[in-house]
């Protein structure tokens, strides 16, 4: 009688992340399912390693990026595109693609950055401005979306897009009117305070703190309900080491919006001093 063979056991390996014993052939699948963030990072790193080792032309790198885009691997696409040399002849497309993918990843600041770089290369390309307006809309920056759409000369736009632009503007303008009413401001006052807020924020990012405070105070003179202005003033005073003024402004901001996380977190930091 023939001896019955037992089922051959697959060789196991310990998962380097959680220590669980997993069959060697299934280790990748285990990491992908049980440790998705680490799997994503390792996959990106593997792609970047190949990009460094292989001598691909910029056109080939773009092809690789587009292949990952088709597969829905959005996080890998920007990393690949950043290997393309600035001298590449179609950087407008590269920057626009970066903007599109980063917008999908909800990285709105970087998406805006690359769309603006594309627009700087061709200010007359209307599709880029439409896309930038879409990024602003997706990030709930209605004011910037309206400003961008109003810059477009509709007479130069493909007729198929006329209705889209008009309907989007009408919808966003309606939302802006509602916001202005909630603040008891006219539409003009609301837009002025918004522009001053953006100026103040940009000054703050550059480290021009005193000029930034002045801008935020100008916002508050128009719109006393601007708790982000108070929050930013409080944050600046923290950086300047004036903790009493920082606390005063942050507490005011939090009293206006109890869910204002920035003010809450900074006040917790101040409590340690």
pLDDT per residue rounded down to tens, the chain (273 residues): 444 454 445 566 665 445 566 564 555 565 456 545 444 555 555 555 665 655 778 898 898 889 888 878 888 888 889 889 899 999 999 999 999 999 999 999 999 999 999 999 999 888 899 899 999 999 888 889 998 888 888 887 788 888 888 888 899 889 889 989 988 999 889 989 999 999 999 999 999 999 999 999 999 999 999 999 999 999 999 999 999 999 999 999 999 999 999 899 999 998 887
* CA dist., res. 113 & res. 108, Å (int): 8
Helix axes 159-182, 187-206, angle to 10 degrees: 90
Dihedral in degrees, nearest 10, Cα atoms 216, 219, 223, 224: 30
Orientation angle between helical segments 243-256 and 227-240, nearest 10 degrees: 160
This prediction's pTM: 0.65
């Amino acid at each position: 009688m023939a001896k019955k063979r037992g089922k051959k056991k697959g060789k196991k390996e310990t998962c380097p992340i959680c220590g669980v014993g997993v069959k060697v052939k299934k280790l990748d699948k285990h990491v992908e399912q049980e440790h998705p963030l680490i799997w994503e990072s390792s996959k990106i790193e593997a792609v970047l390693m190949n990009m460094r080792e292989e001598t691909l032309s910029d056109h080939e790198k773009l092809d690789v990026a587009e292949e990952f885009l088709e597969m829905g691997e959005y996080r890998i696409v920007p990393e690949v595109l950043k290997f393309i040399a600035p001298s590449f002849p179609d950087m407008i497309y590269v920057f626009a693609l970066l903007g599109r993918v980063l917008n999908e990843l909800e990285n709105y600041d970087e998406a805006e950055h690359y769309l603006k770089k594309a627009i700087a290369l061709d200010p007359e390309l209307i599709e880029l401005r439409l896309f930038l307006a879409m990024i602003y809309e997706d990030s709930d920056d209605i004011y910037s979306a309206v400003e961008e759409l109003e810059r477009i000369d509709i007479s130069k736009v493909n007729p198929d897009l006329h209705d889209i632009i008009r309907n989007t503007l009408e919808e966003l303008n309606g939302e802006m009117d509602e916001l202005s009413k909630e603040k008891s401001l006219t539409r003009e006052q609301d837009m002025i305070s918004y522009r001053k807020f953006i100026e103040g924020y940009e000054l703050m990012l550059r480290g021009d703190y005193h000029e930034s405070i002045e801008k935020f105070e100008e916002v508050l003179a128009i719109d006393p309900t601007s708790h982000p202005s108070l929050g930013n003033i409080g944050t600046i005073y923290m950086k300047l080491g004036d903790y009493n003024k920082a606390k005063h402004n942050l507490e005011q901001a939090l009293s206006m919006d109890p869910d204002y996380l920035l003010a809450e977190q900074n006040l917790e930091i101040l409590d340690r001093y």
